[in-house]
Each structure stands twice: as structure tokens, then as C-alpha cells.
Amino acid sequence: MTADLFETVPDVRPSREAMADGAVLLRGFVKPFESDLIAALREIVAQAPFRRMFTPGGHQMSVAMTNCGSAGWVTDRSGYRYDGIDPNSGQPWPTMPTVFCQLAVQAAIAGGFDGFAPDACLINRYEPGARMSLHQDKDEQDFAAPIASVSLGLPAIFLFGGPKRADKPRRYRLEHGDVVVWGGPSRLFFHGVAPLADGEHALLGHQRINLTFRKAR
């Protein structure tokens, strides 16, 4: 029997996988946006370079961050907050590119959330070994809006827990092009990212980039 009997055309449809009530994993959702998205990302990073911020407790994060949009998430010795100004430049964060906004809004719709209007996009860069400990996203003013999270570059193990820190997280492998949207009953669930394994991604090299879109204000 010859191998080509089993060949199929690649399945380019994004898939939809429920993670919890209000949380959905859209594998491959980025594909139609990919090249414009990465070009826009490079421009943002040229204006507002990645930097490793400090937690209020004085620890430097292993993940490097920047932002675009009218509100940027920052952390320093005084706490976590959203700020319209990049503290490194004293200038407003780069404007949210149209392609970023379109991707986030369309993913939110696919996840069951109409009318998402993100004003903040936190951009996380993981190099091998970087991780994010379990946390809740609760610095936003209105928890009615969902969060859309876009994974690019190297794959990561995403830890998705529950409403209590002690809830045992489930592990999801997030790959380049995957989007997670969550809100509603799971909006405040604990989550994190396991230490990034090394590897090389064809477009982004030895790193994972995560974009999280929020309505902060």
C-alpha cells in the first residue's frame, strides 16, 4: 500500500476547543493575519523595546514586556497598574495597529464575545527558561470584557487553573498561531506559563511572543 493513499490536503480551518466555561482555544486562528501581525509587532518593538520589569516585591521578571494601545500594563516597586505612558521613554505607548485590533475582535467573536473593544495589548517575550507563575488578571476595571491571548514563535505549556490558586492547573501546549479567549465565568481563573523549552522557530527564532488584549479602562 502506498503512502500517498493516506495523503490529505492540510486542514487550514481553525479549530475550537473548550477549556472551561467562557474559555476557548482557537488553534491556528492567527494564520490569515500572520505576516501583517509580525510586521506590525516589529515596528512596535522598535519604538518601545522589550524590558524586564520588577515586581512590587523587587524580583525581576524572567519575561520581557512591552505594550501598545492607550493603556499599557506596567509593574515596578510601587505596584501593578495600567499607564498610558511608557516609563522608559516618557512617551505614550505605540498605537494599537489595526491588524492587532482586528485579530483580537474577531477572535473574541469566535470565542463567543461580541463587542470586544481592547484598549491595551501587553506583549510578553519568553526566551528559553522564562516562565510566568500562576496569577489572575485583575488589574482591569471591568471584568465583563474577555481577554484574547495570541501565541507566536516557540511553543509553550500554558497552565490553566481555576478560581482558587490551589486548583490544579491543566496543561495546554500553545503553538505559533494559537489564540485563547476567555471571559465570563473563567475571567479570573489562575493561569501561568511553564519554563520555555529552547528551540528555533522559523519566523521568530529562539523566543515565544504572547500578545494579550484587554479592555483595561
- Asked whether position 140 contacts Fe ion by CB under 5 A, the answer is no
Binding site for ligand MD6 (CB under 6 A): 124, 132, 137, 147, 149, 158, 180, 191, 193, 210, 212
Can you tell me the distance from the alpha carbon of 86 to that of 10, in angstroms, rounded to the nearest whole number? 42
**How big is the CA angle at 106 (ends 100 and 112), to the nearest 5 degrees?**
135
Q: Long-range contacts for 52-58 (Cβ within 8 Å, ≥24 apart)?
A: 56/80
Q: Which of helix, strand or coil describes residue 33? A: helix
Strands (E), the chain: 15-20, 23-27, 64-69, 72-76, 79-83, 120-126, 132-135, 147-153, 156-160, 170-174, 179-182, 191-193, 208-214
Can you tell me the distance from the alpha carbon of 155 to that of 177, in angstroms, rounded to the nearest whole number? 10
- Asked whether position 178 contacts Fe ion by CB under 5 A, the answer is no
Residue 61 or 99 with smaller CB distance to ligand MD6: 61
Q: With contacts defined by CB under 5 A, name the span among 11-19, 32-40, 55-63, 136-144 that binds Fe ion.
A: 136-144
- Residue 107 binds which entry of ligand MD6, Fe ion, none, CB below 5-8 Å type-dependent: none
Chain centroid to CA 47: 20
What mask of x and - would describe binding to Fe ion in positions 40 to 79, judged by CB under 5 A? ----------------------------------------
Residue 93 or 158 with smaller CB distance to ligand MD6: 158
Contacts of 197 (CB under 8 A, 6+ apart): 128, 154, 155
Q: From the CB of 94, what's the least distance to ligand MD6, in Å?
A: 20
Under rule CB under 5 A, how many of the chain's residues touch Fe ion? 1
- Residue 180 binds which entry of ligand MD6, Fe ion, none, CB below 5-8 Å type-dependent: ligand MD6
- Residue 158 binds which entry of ligand MD6, Fe ion, none, CB below 5-8 Å type-dependent: ligand MD6
Least Cα distance to 193 among 164, 147, 146, 151 occurs for 151
- Residue 193 binds which entry of Fe ion, ligand MD6, none, CB below 5-8 Å type-dependent: ligand MD6
Among 86, 119, 137, 178, binds Fe ion (CB under 5 A): 137
Contacts of 174 (CB under 8 A, 6+ apart): 25, 151, 155, 156, 157, 158, 180
Amino acid at 192: G
Q: With contacts defined by CB under 5 A, name the span among 12-20, 33-41, 132-140, 179-187 that binds Fe ion.
A: 132-140
Q: From the CB of 158, what's the least distance to ligand MD6, in Å?
A: 6
Q: Which residues bind Fe ion (CB under 5 A)?
A: 137
